Structure 1
Amino acid sequence: MSLQDVPFGRLSEAEVQRLVDYGVGESVHLDYKRQNYGTSEKDRKEFLKDISSMANSLGGDLIIGVTESGGLPQSIVPLTGDCDKDVQRLEQLAVHGLEPRIRNLQIKSIPLTKGGYLIAIRVPRSYLAPHRVILENSARFYARAGTTTYEPNVDQLRHMFNSTPVIAAKIKSFHADRLIKITAGETPIAMNAAGKLVIHVVPLPAFSDGSMVDLIAKLSFGTHVPVPPNELGMPTSQAVNLDGYLNYLSGGSHDVGHKAYAQFFRNGIIEGAADLRTDNGLSSRFVGAPFVQLVVSTVQQYLATIDHYDMGLPAYVFLSLCNASNSVYRYEPPGGGFQETEPSGRDIIALPEIYIDSVDVDVAKAMRPAFNVLWNAFGRYHCDVYDTHGNSLRSE
């Protein structure tokens, strides 16, 4: 039993009390503190040591306001004072006391029914490791093994520095393999031979441990499922398959019907694919603002789904077109009407990945570089859906 399966937003007094009742001891993922960290240099460095050691290892939860003996929790001892100021102080210390800072570090107070509060800190496993403590000219690295915090040696530091590029290479290999399979027609539902929009949201934790989750069980207790890139608002059907969970729309019985799916892989990756607009099932087109709005809304929904099930961040977002050799971009020239570019001539258009480290990111703004490259692929200088400031969508 641990807190790792409890989304941080739902963490409450009841979950902490269960840890105490069941005697869940400290581990690589869990640490208890009786008192809050003070303001002395020693106390501040101790806080930075504790959170950086978790980030540099496997991540975990730090609960302040619980006594322990031999690593086993004894009781909840309420903290007193201004909980908001306590949380803000720790947040600021984490921002300014570590290099690089820990992305997606979460700190909150938990009110107690009998008064007072606890402080919970969720430290993600970092993919920018190693983090070092730099407070007051310090320059020390820490890691965690079991309940022990230690300073890694040179070989261990080298491994930390090299782990992120290895994970990134695995993600790019997965992405390339999926595009080849989709282009070859190896999709969970039959799709047209014409161009396809393909979106991947890949949380880095999916490739960190090679672990699989009981996705179907998670979905049965959740309220979010990934939706297909469905610009027509058509009803969908659900199924399970070898890869995980499938949400799809068939678009009708004839060849040019619009088809789309969202595949939720067991390691947390979400793949969405949809036929581009087509009249004959062979050639296809996309139209500026509706296309951009569809992509942005789909990515937002996938990020919200990953967050809902605590699949982890950061994540790479990939935007691609498959079977795109006969695809064109349709646009409005000055004076009205519409024109179309020449076909792309490429079966696969794989755009630069977008790095997302927060569910609160402005997805439209973050995705703009990928849209610009896509427009370049069709002979246009930039994506003309954005305004002159590059941070808002033009309505149609």
Structure 2
Amino acid sequence: MSLQAVPFSKLSEAEIQRLLDYGVGESIHLDYKRQNYETSESDRKEFLKDISSMANTLGGDLVIGISEADGVPQSIIPLAGDRDKDVQRLEQLALHGLEPRIRNLQIKPIALTAGGYLILVRVPRSYVAPHRVILGNSARFYARAGTTTYEPNVDQLRQMFIATPLIAEKIKAFHADRLIRITANETPIAMNAAGKLVIHVVPLPAFTDGSMMDLIARLSVGTHVPVPPDEVGQLSRQSVNLDGYLNYTSTGSHSDARKAYAQFFRNGAIEGVADLRTDDGLSSRFVGVPFVRLVVDKVRQYLATADHYDMGLPAYVFLSFCNASNTVYRYPVPGGGFQETDPFGREIIALPEIYIDSFDVDVAKTMRPAFNVLWNAFGHHHCDVYDANGEIPAS
């Protein structure tokens, strides 16, 4: 049993009690503390040591208010005092006592039915590691092996520094491979050969240590599924395949209708693809405002899905076109009417990736640089959809 399988927002006294009932011992992912960290410098450094060691290794949960013997939990020792102030103090300590800070660190009190409270700290595996403790002129790095916290040597530190760039390269290779396959019509549903919009949301944890989850089992009890990037709201169907879960538009008897799908890969990556063809079936186009709204809406939905299933952060968002040779941009002109650019002339448009480190990000503003580059590709200086305040018009 592990707390890692439970979304942080759903953790309660019941889950903590089960740790005691089943005698779940400390591990690389789990640590117990009988008492809260006090305000002395040694106690504050101890807290920073504990959370940085987890962040620098595989992440984990720190439960404050549990007595243990040889790593096995014995009983709940309720904390007393102002729980909100305790949490705020630990949050501020983590914010100012580490370099760089640990993003997406989560801390919350858990009220106990018998009175008092526990404090639970969820430490994500960091992808900007290693973090060092800088409180009190300290400059020390820590890592975790089993239940032991240690100071890594030079070779181990070097591995920490290069780990994230290696993961990023894996993600970019995955993205490039998917674009080649989509362009070659190797898609989970048959699609037209004309231009296609492609959206990828890829959490970095999806590419660590051969990450794979029982996706189908989790989806069966979840409430979120990725939605195809279909701007006209066609009916969709769901199925499973070798790669994971597939949600795709149902065209019924209209075989010439536009098609779209969302593939949820078993490692947590999400791919959305939509047909952009025009009525002749060969050329394709996109129109500014509805296109930007569609992309922003789907990126939001895919990020919400990743958040719902605790896929982790940070994440990369990729916006691309495949089979784009005959794709044009249609834009309004002064006095009314529309004009179209020349066709793009190349098969793949791969825009610069967008780095996301919070699920609360303003997607519209964050995606704007990618839209600007797309508009540049069609001869325009910038994406003209945004208003003077950097907002997308509501209608």
TM-score of the alignment, normalized to the shorter chain, above 0.5: yes
State the AA in 1 paired with 2:70: G
State the AA in 2 paired with 1:107: I
State the AA in 2 paired with 1:284: S
Offset of 1:209 from its aligned partner?
1.1
Q: Which residue of 1 aligns with 2:369?
A: 369
Deviates more, 1:213-222 or 1:247-256: 247-256
* 1:189-221 CA distance string (max 9 Å, x none): 011111100000001011111021111001111
Offset of 1:250 from its aligned partner?
3.7
Q: Which residue of 2 aligns with 1:262?
A: 262
Q: Cα 1:278–1:255, aligned 2, differ >3 Å: closer, same or farther?
A: farther
**CA distance in 1: counterparts of 2:96 and 2:283, whole angstroms:** 54
State the AA in 2 paired with 1:388: A
- For 1:163-178, list aligned pairs within 5 A: 163-178=163-178
State the AA in 1 paired with 2:140: R
* 1:107-156 CA distance string (max 9 Å, x none): 11111111111111110000000000011111000000000000000000
Q: Which residue of 2 aligns with 1:53?
A: 53
Q: Structure 2, unaligned stretches of length 5 or more?
A: none
- For 1:74-85, list aligned pairs within 5 A: 74-85=74-85
Contact 2:234-2:250 at 8 Å conserved across structures: no
Q: Which residue of 2 aligns with 1:134?
A: 134
State the AA in 2 paired with 1:356: I
Deviates more, 1:149-158 or 1:225-234: 225-234
Offset of 1:45 from its aligned partner?
0.6
Work out whether 1:394 is the aligned partner of 2:377.
Answer: no
Work out whether 1:112 is the aligned partner of 2:112.
Answer: yes
- Equivalent position SS for 1:273: strand
Contact 2:235-2:250 at 8 Å conserved across structures: no
- Equivalent position SS for 1:4: helix
**CA distance in 1: counterparts of 2:368 and 2:154, whole angstroms:** 40
Contact 2:235-2:251 at 8 Å conserved across structures: no
Q: Which residue of 2 aligns with 1:349?
A: 349
**CA distance in 2: counterparts of 1:221 and 1:386, whole angstroms:** 39
Q: Which residue of 1 aligns with 2:212?
A: 212
CA RMSD of aligned residues (A): 1.0
Contact 1:326-1:344 at 8 Å conserved across structures: yes
Contact 2:351-2:374 at 8 Å conserved across structures: yes
Q: Which residue of 1 aligns with 2:273?
A: 273
**CA distance in 2: counterparts of 1:315 and 1:119, whole angstroms:** 28
**CA distance in 1: counterparts of 2:310 and 2:77, whole angstroms:** 28
State the AA in 2 paired with 1:12: S
Offset of 1:384 from its aligned partner?
0.7
**CA distance in 1: counterparts of 2:211 and 2:344, whole angstroms:** 39
Contact 2:143-2:150 at 8 Å conserved across structures: yes
TM-score by length of 2: 0.98
* 1:11-65 CA distance string (max 9 Å, x none): 0000000001100000000000111111111111100000000000000000011
**CA distance in 1: counterparts of 2:384 and 2:52, whole angstroms:** 43
Q: Which residue of 1 aligns with 2:243?
A: 243
Q: Which residue of 1 aligns with 2:296?
A: 296
Q: Which residue of 1 aligns with 2:41?
A: 41
**CA distance in 1: counterparts of 2:132 and 2:298, whole angstroms:** 37
Offset of 1:357 from its aligned partner?
0.9
**CA distance in 2: counterparts of 1:304 and 1:268, whole angstroms:** 12
Among all aligned residue pairs of Structure 1 and Structure 2, give the percentage whose two residues are the same amino acid: 80
Contact 1:255-1:281 at 8 Å conserved across structures: no
Contact 1:34-1:66 at 8 Å conserved across structures: yes
- Equivalent position SS for 1:174: helix
**CA distance in 1: counterparts of 2:200 and 2:129, whole angstroms:** 24
Work out whether 1:385 is the aligned partner of 2:385.
Answer: yes
**CA distance in 2: counterparts of 1:204 and 1:230, whole angstroms:** 26
- For 1:295-314, list aligned pairs within 5 A: 295-314=295-314
**CA distance in 1: counterparts of 2:235 and 2:69, whole angstroms:** 56
- Equivalent position SS for 2:381: coil
Q: Which residue of 1 aligns with 2:326?
A: 326
**CA distance in 1: counterparts of 2:322 and 2:60, whole angstroms:** 39
Contact 1:256-1:278 at 8 Å conserved across structures: no
State the AA in 2 paired with 1:368: R
Q: Structure 1, unaligned stretches of length 5 or more?
A: none
State the AA in 2 paired with 1:228: P
State the AA in 2 paired with 1:394: P
Q: Which residue of 2 aligns with 1:285?
A: 285
- Equivalent position SS for 1:272: strand
**CA distance in 2: counterparts of 1:235 and 1:359, whole angstroms:** 28
State the AA in 1 paired with 2:392: L
**CA distance in 1: counterparts of 2:227 and 2:113, whole angstroms:** 39
Deviates more, 1:288-297 or 1:143-152: 288-297
Offset of 1:252 from its aligned partner?
4.6
Offset of 1:389 from its aligned partner?
3.1
Contact 1:28-1:147 at 8 Å conserved across structures: yes
Offset of 1:254 from its aligned partner?
4.8
State the AA in 2 paired with 1:154: V
- Equivalent position SS for 2:289: helix
- Equivalent position SS for 1:31: strand
Offset of 1:277 from its aligned partner?
4.5
Offset of 1:251 from its aligned partner?
3.1
Work out whether 1:21 is the aligned partner of 2:17.
Answer: no
Q: Which residue of 2 aligns with 1:336?
A: 336
Offset of 1:83 from its aligned partner?
1.0
- Equivalent position SS for 2:367: helix
- Equivalent position SS for 2:192: coil
Deviates more, 1:243-252 or 1:16-25: 243-252
